[in-house]
């Protein structure tokens, strides 16, 4: 059995919500190979750029950390310009032979913008400030869209939505990390 196949690696739900002057990104901690949970407390959400940017990843961990490092370098090159740094990273990701093989997606946000970055060169700003990625991403996204119309704050919406995703997606657990920034 080959364990590095993308078809065998599962396990992540990353969600971002921007509401009421706060942006929150949260992710669960489960990593699975096939039907086996190999880690329950992975940290898939972190702060970047001296704390001014938050990000979460879905996909292969080593690939995601490579992309985080590349994004940090772009943020040093283009300080306080997340959109520009993300576009430059997407260009590299799409054209560089090494980076093209990386299998991950990222959600990143600063005080002004939230973005989803993919290996196909996409830099997408989520509609209505809500976006989910990963195996449970659509479940969390649906829950967050429903909760966004309530009086709940961004962090609470992220936490509740990830909890709902964990009820539905076997590759999502309740060991959640959430980071927030004030807009």
* Helix, strand, coil distribution of the chain in percent, nearest 5: 35, 30, 35
- Section 53-79 average pLDDT: 89
Annotated catalytic residue 12: yes
List the one residue out of 71, 131, 134, 75 whose CA is nearest residue 99: 71
pTM for this model (two decimals): 0.91
Instruction: Please indicate, yes or no, if residue 175 is contained in any of the structural domains.
Output: yes
Q: What average pLDDT does the chain have?
A: 89
Task: Write out pLDDT tens, residues 30-48.
Answer: 988 888 888 899 999 999 9
Identify the weakest region by mean pLDDT among 25-34, 89-98, 109-118, 121-130: 89-98
Q: Using an 8 Å Cβ cutoff, are 169 and 33 in contact?
A: no
If one counts the domains in the chain, the total is 1
Per-residue model confidence (pLDDT) at position 178 = 98
Q: What is the CATH number of the domain that holds 119?
A: 3.60.20.10
4 falls within a domain = no
DSSP state of 40: S
Q: Which domain does 31 fall in, by range?
A: 9-182
- Name the DSSP letter for residue 78: S
Strand partners, 9: 33
Residue 149 falls inside a structural domain: yes
3-state SS assignment for residue 166: helix
Average pLDDT over residues 8-35: 88
DSSP state at residue 1: -
2 located within any domain: no
- Quick check: 102 and 66 in contact, CB under 8 A? yes
Which of these, 121, 124, 60, lies nearest to 92 by C-alpha position? 121
Q: Within a domain: residue 3?
A: no
Per DSSP, 115 falls in state E
Which of 3, 12, 118, 177 is an active site residue? 12
133-160: average pLDDT: 97
pLDDT the model gives residue 100: 60
For 133, the enclosing helix (H) or strand (E) is: strand 130-134
Does pLDDT of 81 surpass 80? yes
The confidence band for 59, taking pLDDT boundaries of 50, 70 and 90, is confident
pLDDT for 72 beyond 80: yes
In a domain, 141, yes or no: yes
Read off the pLDDT of each residue in 67-78 and give the average, rounded to a whole number.
Answer: 93
């Amino acid at each position: 059995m080959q364990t590095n196949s993308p078809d065998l690696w599962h396990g992540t739900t990353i969600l971002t919500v921007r509401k009421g002057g706060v942006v929150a990104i949260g992710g669960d901690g489960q990593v699975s190979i096939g039907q086996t949970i190999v880690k329950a407390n992975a940290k898939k959400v972190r702060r970047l750029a001296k704390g001014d940017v938050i990000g979460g990843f879905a996909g292969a961990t080593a690939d995601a950390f490579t992309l985080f490092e590349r994004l940090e370098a772009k943020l040093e090159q283009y300080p306080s310009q997340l959109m520009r740094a993300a576009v430059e990273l997407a260009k590299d990701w799409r054209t560089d032979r090494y980076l093209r093989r990386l299998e991950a997606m990222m959600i990143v946000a600063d005080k002004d913008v939230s973005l989803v970055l993919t290996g196909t060169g996409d830099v997408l700003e989520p509609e209505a400030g809500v976006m989910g990625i990963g195996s449970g991403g659509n479940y969390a996204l649906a829950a967050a869209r429903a909760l966004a119309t309530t009086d709940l704050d961004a962090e609470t919406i992220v936490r509740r939505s990830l909890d709902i995703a964990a009820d539905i997606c076997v590759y999502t657990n309740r060991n959640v990390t959430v980071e927030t920034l004030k807009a």
